[in-house]
């Protein structure tokens, strides 16, 4: 009986073998599934190690720069700063920038929504526009409007206050005011990047609603339940990096061209507006081209329903659209959006700043 059962068992195994494995491999070899060849844990460990190395390098570099500049202006025997004047200038620049940003959000919200949708899903401008319209009509382009009206002006306040305030602070010191304009702008960009990190949760809400639509609320609620409130800060470091890489070229070009191109009298309003628009457009194109890849990775990580590292987000974008997708996804739309925004902002900011200076003397 025992031998009969063994024969039957062998026969049963032989009958199933063609369904489970090759005939010459009786032991069932598991079929590799998609993603099995990607060692997630080692990759995360390597990614985390590089993050620590990168942060340590940045911290060391920042410390050395601070030490060099502190020693330099002490040796120059000029440690005076006009803090009151710098704060007044920062407040004027910040309020002017915030007022200009409110108008920009209202006018350019649809194209911003299209751009963020492209960042996440990687479609063409035409396809993204049609998809969003079919998803919810005209109102779909304004998903996240409330968060944008709150986040945009505050973020722009920080950007412009940092640029105006830091430059005014440096100009009040005999040594630091001799630094080239692009070097001075580095300090303003670092302050703006740190300020943007504080606003990451609002930016996460706005961007998720733009990229995912009404389901963005559910995605964020599930993320908070699963990963805690800290998940709202996913993408904060990429936000800071993108802000610095975007802010610095923008204001470096803006400040450089503002010094190079003489400002015409206010009576010649046509030339005055043309100069401001040209400077703003050049600054925006330069900034967008340099910072686009960071914004693609930031948006992918920020709006994803599950936790994804910066490295993995970049890898998935490259797998879907290639390396050009990482650097060029949504870039055309962004250049159009930020070109228009740069023109509007440059004109409105300078106009509101003139009003502020006339009112405050």
DSSP string, 128-164: HHHHHHHHHGGGGGGTTHHHHHHHHHHHHHHHHHHHH
Tokens at 212, concatenated: 């995912």
43 by Cβ neighbours in 10 Å (0-12 / 13-18 / 19+) ranks as middle
pLDDT at 76 over 50: yes
Cα–Cα distance for residue pair 333/328, rounded to 1 Å: 10
Average pLDDT over residues 307-325: 85
Q: For 270-310, what is each residue's pLDDT tens digit? A: 888 888 888 888 888 888 888 888 888 888 887 887 888 88
User: What pTM, to 2 d.p., does this model score?
Assistant: 0.57
pLDDT at 264 over 80: yes
Closest CA to 216 of 226, 224, 206, 225: 206
Closest CA to 307 of 227, 239, 238, 228: 227
Q: What's the pLDDT score for residue 35?
A: 44
Percent of the chain surpassing pLDDT 70? 78
Q: What's the pLDDT score for residue 133?
A: 92
273 by Cβ neighbours in 10 Å (0-12 / 13-18 / 19+) ranks as middle
Contact 227, 308 (CB under 8 A): no
pLDDT at 324 over 60: yes
Residue 262, C-beta contacts closer than 8 angstroms, at least 6 positions apart: none
Q: What's the pLDDT score for residue 285?
A: 85
Distance set, CA 217 to CA 94, 192, 233 (Å): 31, 28, 16
pLDDT at 130 over 90: yes
Q: What is the CATH number of domain 82-360?
A: 1.50.40.10
The better pLDDT of the pair 340, 76 is held by: 340
Residue 318, C-beta contacts closer than 8 angstroms, at least 6 positions apart: 325, 326
Q: Which of 88-92, 152-156, 208-212, 231-235 has the lowest mean pLDDT?
A: 88-92
pLDDT at 262 over 70: yes
Q: What's the pLDDT score for residue 75?
A: 63
Cα–Cα distance for residue pair 199/232, rounded to 1 Å: 10
60 by Cβ neighbours in 10 Å (0-12 / 13-18 / 19+) ranks as exposed
Average pLDDT over residues 193-214: 86
Q: For 228-253, what is each residue's pLDDT tens digit? A: 888 888 888 888 887 788 878 887 88
User: Where would I find the H helices in 172-268?
Assistant: 181-198, 200-212, 215-227, 236-260
Tokens at 233, concatenated: 């800060």
Closest CA to 262 of 275, 277, 249: 275
């Amino acid at each position: 009986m025992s031998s009969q059962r063994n024969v039957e068992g062998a026969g049963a195994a032989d009958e199933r073998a063609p369904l489970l494995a090759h005939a010459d491999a009786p032991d069932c070899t598991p079929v590799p599934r998609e993603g099995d060849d990607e060692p997630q844990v080692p990759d995360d460990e390597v990614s985390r190690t590089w993050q620590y190395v990168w942060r340590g390098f940045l911290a060391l570099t920042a410390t050395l720069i601070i030490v060099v500049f502190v020693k330099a202006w002490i040796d120059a025997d000029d440690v005076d700063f006009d803090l009151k004047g710098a704060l007044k200038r920062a407040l004027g620049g910040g309020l002017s920038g915030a007022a200009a940003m409110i108008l920009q959000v209202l006018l350019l919200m649809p194209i911003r929504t299209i751009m963020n949708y492209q960042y996440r899903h990687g479609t063409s401008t035409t396809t993204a526009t049609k998809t969003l319209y079919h998803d919810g009509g005209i109102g779909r382009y304004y998903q996240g409007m409330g968060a944008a009206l709150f986040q945009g002006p505050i973020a722009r306040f920080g950007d412009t206050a940092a640029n105006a305030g830091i430059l005014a602070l440096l100009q009040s010191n005999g040594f630091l005011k001799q630094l080239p304009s692009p070097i001075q702008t580095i300090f303003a960009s670092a302050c703006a990047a740190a300020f943007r990190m504080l606003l990451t949760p609002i930016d996460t809400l706005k961007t998720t609603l733009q990229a995912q639509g009404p389901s963005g609320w559910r995605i964020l609620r599930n993320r908070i339940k699963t990963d805690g409130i800290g998940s709202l800060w996913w993408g904060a470091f990429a936000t800071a990096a993108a802000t610095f890489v975007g802010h610095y070229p923008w204001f470096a070009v803006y400040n450089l061209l503002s010094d190079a191109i003489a400002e015409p009298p206010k009576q010649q309003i046509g030339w005055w507006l043309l100069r401001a628009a040209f400077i703003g457009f050049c600054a925006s194109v330069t900034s967008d081209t340099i910072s686009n890849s960071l914004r693609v990775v930031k948006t992918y990580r920020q709006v994803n329903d599950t936790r994804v590292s910066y490295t993995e987000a970049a890898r998935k974008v490259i797998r879907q659209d290639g390396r050009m997708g990482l650097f060029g996804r949504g870039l055309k739309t962004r250049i159009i959006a930020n070109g228009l925004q740069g023109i509007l902002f440059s004109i409105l900011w300078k106009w509101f700043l003139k009003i502020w200076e006339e009112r405050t003397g």
